[in-house]
Amino acid sequence: MDPIGKALWFIESHFSGEMTLDDVAGVAGVSRYHLTRAFGDATGHSVMRYMRARRLTEAARSLTNGAADILQVALASGYGSHEAFTRAFRDQFGCTPEQVRAQGHLGNLPLVEAIKMDETLMAKLDAPRFENGKPLLIVGLSERYTCESSKAIPAQWQRFGPHIDNIPGQVGKVAYGVRCNADESGNFDYVCGVEISDFSDVPPEFARLRIAPQRYAVFRHRDHISAIRRTMHTIWSKWLPESGHEVVDGPDFERYGEEFDPRTGNGGLEIWIPIKA
């Protein structure tokens, strides 16, 4: 079973008790960083947000099934008090446990059901090449995302597109989509940008990112851009665990060369994953 399958099994089997990211990563057999990155790519959820949402979904189901004591539901869901449970419940569903129990149905709640993973990975992932990446100075637009909100990244590229070739000091015709500053809750910064020679003339509205020299495994994504998640899932859930390589907690990025057509999404791109040398 791949690391995501192991993580999902563990969460579904244990979410009513105390659970940390280290616990899940340990069962999955990968590092916290690896799990956070892979789980988000494969499911569209962060590990801990998914765990909390599953707890609260099952709690809501208990309440509509006639649970008499909300404190007991809270304790069974891993919360130490009625107040903590109510706060988390309201954050998830926009209403209180009392209101859900009174209405007696789940029709208006954004439930998060157990994920049944499509275990079909790519039949053939081209072997990567390995490169010692040079230092990069990247300038562009930066946004903070959760795994769930990352569907808005194409709109970020749409905003950045008119600036390409118009940034002082731009080097070459390559664009970069850099994921960095990830935390264990699955939040990360995404910078869509270009390489520049120095930061001295960068307009104030642009973010600046310095990427240090690093060893990378470089994968070619040949399909339409819309299929990139499947390639990412195969890299993180199959290639990396089987390769013997260890991922580094640092920026990874998509590299869009001149062959990529931003209008149609065709032409392919490269995915650069930082690994230990």
What are the tens digits of pLDDT across the range 185-233? Answer: 889 999 999 999 999 999 999 999 999 999 999 999 998 887 888 899 8
Task: Give the tokens for residue 237.
Answer: 């859930």
Q: Which fold has domain 129-274?
A: Multidrug-efflux Transporter 1 Regulator Bmrr; Chain A (3.20.80)
CATH topology for the 3-103 domain = Arc Repressor Mutant, subunit A (1.10.10)
pLDDT at 1: 54
Predicted confidence (pLDDT) per residue in 126-148, tens digit: 999 999 999 999 999 999 998 88
The full set of domain ranges for the chain reads: 3-103, 129-274
pTM of the model: 0.74
Q: Collect the ranges in the chain with pLDDT lower than 50.
A: none
pLDDT at 189: 97
